[in-house]
Amino acid sequence: MKIAFTPNARRPDPAIEVLDEAFLPLRLFAAGVEQLATGLAWAEGPVWFGDGRYLLVSDIPNNRILRWDETTGAVSDFRNPSNNANGHVRDAQGRLVSCEHLTRRITRTGYDGRITVLADRYQGKRLNSPNDITCAADGSLWFSDPLFGILSDFEGERAEPELAQGVYRIDGATGELTLQLDDLNGPNGLAFSPDGQVLYVIESRARPHRCIWAYDVDGAALSNKRLFVDAGGPGAFDGMAIDVQGNLWCGFGSDGSAGADASRLDGVKVYDATGKALAHIHLPERCANLCFGGAKGNRLFMASTHSLYALYVNTRGAVA
């Protein structure tokens, strides 16, 4: 499906709703929301490659990873088929690391194009459907493993789970896979604070409300689980990105219970490091995941259902 989109000529763009004056220094008065591409079935997992000036984004049901070129605006296939790839990250060496639903594994793509499997089983049992992934400062890779990709044949292949839903860590030196969390219903987006001392994890099937949890990080150990933000009402979080000041930019939309009012929830919610809501970037579609990129790291790319959107902001993405 292609979504018709007309950029707003007004500045500041009324799509950027300021909820707290603390957001004003983060907003660029002359910047507005842009649509870079459309026609995807379910856009997910954007990752920026500054050395090539392009962005990769997953189109999960269409079983492909697309490449958007910053220099030309062209969209092309990067990998097709993609094993219903979802989230991506670049590792400490800048290589692409991907979550694959169909094969239920984490893979790394080398500079020569060779694909290496980093994880597909835990204690002899198959992973569910790796969803989102992030890289810690020590080079370890942390990923969520909910059931989403094995619940139907739409974003993977229907199957019975062999493991509880969890969050895992792949050691950057040894490659050892360890289970870090197994008490979340639908673990989804995850990201580290700029100093690496806090891990944020979205629980996208939590009851009664979808929420974001925060954990203290000490190497491979997590402690002091605490509620960071409750989505409240019919809202639901998906993926997130963090800027250098520690603000969380979270993909947001309806959990399916909002009815005719669902569209008012679609977009990106922004929170400061204390959990205070700063802004809501309204989009015509629900935002699944996002990342920072561009030449100066100040362009927010938003993978949103059928389309890819972008917005220049007055901050930069944090580097793990």
What CATH number does the domain containing 247 carry?
2.120.10.30
What pLDDT is stored for residue 262 in this prediction? 73
**Do the Cβ atoms of 298 and 316 come closer than 8 Å?**
yes
Residue 30 has pLDDT above 80, yes or no: yes
Report pLDDT for 254.
84
- Residue 232: the pLDDT is 84
Please compute the mean of the pLDDT values over residues 236-252 and round it to a whole number. 97
249-304 pLDDT, tens digit per residue, is: 999 998 776 665 678 899 999 999 999 999 999 999 999 999 999 999 999 999 99
Predicted confidence at residue 319, as pLDDT, reads 75
Q: Say if residue 260 is exposed, middle or buried (CB neighbours under 10 Å; 0-12, 13-18, 19+).
A: exposed
Is 25 part of any domain? yes
Q: Could you give the angle at the alpha carbon of 224 between the alpha carbons of 222 and 225, nearest 5°?
A: 85
Q: Which amino acid is at 203?
A: E
Residue 319, CB half-sphere, CA atoms under 13 Å: how many?
A: 9
Sheet holding 16-18, edge to edge: 16-18, 277-282, 267-271, 248-254, 235-242
What is the span of the domain harbouring residue 188?
Answer: 16-312
What integer pLDDT is reported at residue 259 of this predicted model? 63
Q: Is residue 40 part of a domain?
A: yes
Residue 5 lies in a domain: no
The string over 36-45, giving b where at least 16 C-beta atoms fall within 10 Å of a residue's C-beta and e elsewhere, is bbbebebbbb
pTM, entire model? 0.97
Q: Is residue 320 part of a domain?
A: no
220 Rama class: left (phi>0) / alpha (psi -120 to 50) / beta: alpha
CA-based max dimension of the chain = 57
Q: Tell me what pLDDT residue 208 has.
A: 77
Bridge partners (DSSP) of residue 61 are none
What pLDDT is recorded for position 149?
97
| Whether residue 88 has pLDDT greater than 90 | yes
Contact (CB, 8 A) for 309 and 283: yes
How many domains does the chain contain in total?
1
Could you tell me if residue 162 is inside a domain?
A: yes
| The pLDDT value given to residue 206 | 84
Q: Is residue 75 part of a domain?
A: yes
In a domain, 151, yes or no: yes
Q: Could you give the CA distance from residue 274 to residue 201 in angstroms, rounded to a whole number?
A: 15
Query: What b-and-e string marks burial along 271-310, b requiring 16 or more CB atoms within 10 Å of the CB?
Result: bbbeeeebbbbbbbbbbbbbbbbbeebbbbbbbbbbbbbb
Residue 132: per-residue pLDDT:
98
> For tokens 């790796």, what's the residue?
130
pLDDT tens column, 167-223: 999 999 999 999 999 999 999 999 999 999 999 999 999 887 789 999 999 999 999
pLDDT digits (tens, 9 = 90+) for 116-151: 999 999 999 999 999 999 999 999 999 999 999 999
Considering the domain boundaries, does residue 6 fall inside one? no
Query: Which residue stretches of 219-293 are H helix?
Result: none
In this prediction, residue 209 carries a pLDDT of 75
Please report the pLDDT score of residue 263 as a whole number. Answer: 81
Both structure tokens of 8: 């707003």
Please state, in angstroms and rounded to a whole number, the distance separating the CA atoms of residues 216 and 132. Answer: 20
